[in-house]
Structures are given as structure tokens and as C-alpha cells.
Amino acid sequence: MRNQIEERKVDHIKICLEENVQARRTTNGFEDVFLVHKALPEIERDKIDLSTTVFNHELSAPLLVGAMTGGTAKALKINAAIAEAVEELSLGMGVGSQRVAIEDPKLEASFTIARKKAPTAFLVANIGGPQLVGRYGVKEARKAVEMLKANALAIHLNPLQEAVQPEGETNYSGVFNKIVEIAQALEVPVIVKETGAGIAAEEAKMLEEAGVAGIDVAGVGGTSWAAVEYHRAKRLQDEFRQRLGETFWDWGIPTAVSLVEVVQSVHLTVIASGGIRYGTDVAKSLALGASLASMASPILQSATKSPEEVKKSLQFVIEELRNAMFLVGAESIQKLQKTPVVLTGKTAEWLRMRGFKPELYARRKS
């Protein structure tokens, strides 16, 4: 079982680096989101303050490197490079599912390297929702946090991936009650995150009642894990799973839609992820109400090279965010979160059909 999980993790990294696994027909929705340009911004660009405090941790910018991997030699190199960069830039990062190391402590190094390389950075531990059914609980959640000396724990939900994956675990019965149990027992904030299919208002409200501290929407528009599993099934010559991956490649809720639904439904820290590629995406996410934005795929290639390449990639995004803030006249993250936003097209149509009012954003007084 351990070897099977390790091999799967290696496959996932390789496929994400070599194949097209991005959403094809469904976008993240940010092309429908427009920040209102200010010809008279009345601020000085170089004095813009990007810092923010989330979960009692100060970050130099509202940016996380999302959970990617762990449990293999290549994963150790990737996590080390990311950790070194986020430590230097005072940002945050998550690691991939720690299941493999919880079950075999010999494989902890690819996770513990994150804290070794990033002694003060905001680190998010990670366990999977399917493993909570009948097996994992507070003990394993604490073990994941302690392994990383983490500032928070993410419980990832990936029903789409599990449904397509040849070895997928598709029993989600009882996951919610386990989330309640862990959220109440842990000493660190618990974040529930999707993995590329989004979270709707209904589930967001349930999670708020469960006592979680944050939600990472992880909507459609970036890496499709159905696509990743499609490529794995193709290599394994599993025609049925290959067809499932093809059919559900673009399944889910676009990131912009999921973000608005969640922000307008709960009073929690909300993280935007799912196709976040540029600083303008980060700016739009924050203007829609997110506290942080998270990106993974754009950093993966850099992380296979060096910490310097990761740092460079993140600095590009940070400077794009700074420019966007200058162009809307927002000298702080708090001001950006109050700036007017115009939602159009399919995103606005979806939200109206779901009972939300996208026009309220455009009426803000920044």
C-alpha cells in the first residue's frame, strides 16, 4: 500500500510537469471580473503596503504556495525549494497529503524539510477527507501538524479525483462529523480545502457550523485532477477510468463563482485558489472578499529547479499585485478588499441564478 501511494505521488508530479492537465472548456471566471481603473489613484506605488495578518500570522503579501506533494525524493527537493523561497519572502505554503508519512514515519523527511527550510513561515499541514472515514481522527490530525510544526491544518476534499482515480477511495460517509471532531479538538486553525472543483454556499455554511477557521475554495480553472487521473489511466491502459477522466475533466464550480458564494455565505477566512496565475488574479480575489490567494501549478516548474526560481516566480506575482493595487488606488490590502468590482458574463449569470447579487460589488465606495 505504501509503495502504491509513493508511486502514485511520483506519477502525479510527472504528469503535472509533462502533460496538459489544465481545465479546457471551463475557466476560473476571472475574465468576467473587472476592477475599476482609477486615472487618479492619488497614492504612491512604492509605498503600497501588501502585508496582511491571517490566522494571527503576518505575511508580507496575501499569497500562499498551495499544497503540491510529499513522500518521495523528488517531493523533498520541491518542498525544500518552496520553503526556502517563502521563508525569504515571508509568505506561506502548504504541503501535499501527509498520509504516506503518517503511515510510515521513514517518509517524513519530504514534509519536515519545509519547517527546516522555513523556520518562521506560515505552514499548513494536510490530511485527506477520505482517510477520515473510519480510520483517521484527532490523533492523526495532530500527528500531521506536529510533523510540520504547522500553523494550521488543511483537510482536503477531493471526491472528483477519488471517483476517477483507479485506486480511488469514494466513501465520504461520515467525513463531516470527523471534520467537526478535529476542528473542535485541534489547537491550530483547521482549513477545509477543495482540490479543483470548488465549494458551494451550502457546504460552506455546513463547514462554518462545523467550527472550521477557513475555507479554500479551489475552484475549476486551473489544474484538473480528473485530467491528471485521465493521464494515469491512459498509462495504465485503464479504458474505463480514462473515459471518466475525459468526461469529468472540467467538472465543478468556477473559482470566481465559488469565491463569491462562500464569501457571501459565511464569516470565515476564505482562500482563493484554482487557476490563480497572475497578480491580477490575486487582486481580483481579494476584491471579491478573499483574505489570501493560493497558487500551486505555476510554482511547480520553478520548484523543480531551485529556490531562486521559486522566489522569482513569486516576486513576479507580488509586483503584479502591487501594480493592480496602484491602478485602483488601494494603498493597503484592506482598501483593496473594499474597491469596486464589476462582474459580468457567465459568472454574473451563475451568481444571479444562485440568488446572489453581483451588482453589489460595483456599488462599493472605495
State pLDDT tens for residues 187-225: 999 999 999 999 999 999 999 999 999 999 999 999 999
List all residues 6 or more positions away from 252 whose beta carbon is below 8 Å from its beta carbon.
26, 160, 194, 196, 197, 198, 219, 220
Is pLDDT of 156 > 60?
Answer: yes
Q: For 27-53, what is the mean pLDDT? A: 98
Type and span of the H or E element at 271: strand 269-272
Q: How far apart are CA 346 and CA 31, in angstroms?
A: 10
pLDDT classification of 9: cutoffs 50, 70, 90: confident
What is the predicted pLDDT for the residue at 167?
87
Q: How far apart are CA 319 and CA 48, in angstroms?
A: 11
pLDDT tens for residues 236-284? Answer: 999 999 999 999 999 999 999 999 999 999 999 999 999 999 999 999 9
pLDDT classification of 3: cutoffs 50, 70, 90: low
pLDDT classification of 5: cutoffs 50, 70, 90: confident
Model confidence, pTM:
0.97
pLDDT tens for residues 223-243? Answer: 999 999 999 999 999 999 999
Q: How far apart are CA 302 and CA 313, in angstroms?
A: 7
Is pLDDT of 2 > 60?
Answer: no
DSSP secondary structure of 109-135 = HHHHHHHHH-SSSEEEEEEEGGGGTTT
Domain architecture of the chain: domains with CATH: 2-362 (3.20.20.70)
User: 52: which strand partners?
Assistant: 59
What is the predicted pLDDT for the residue at 6?
75
Q: What does the CA dihedral 324, 194, 271, 295 come to, rounded to 10 degrees?
A: -40
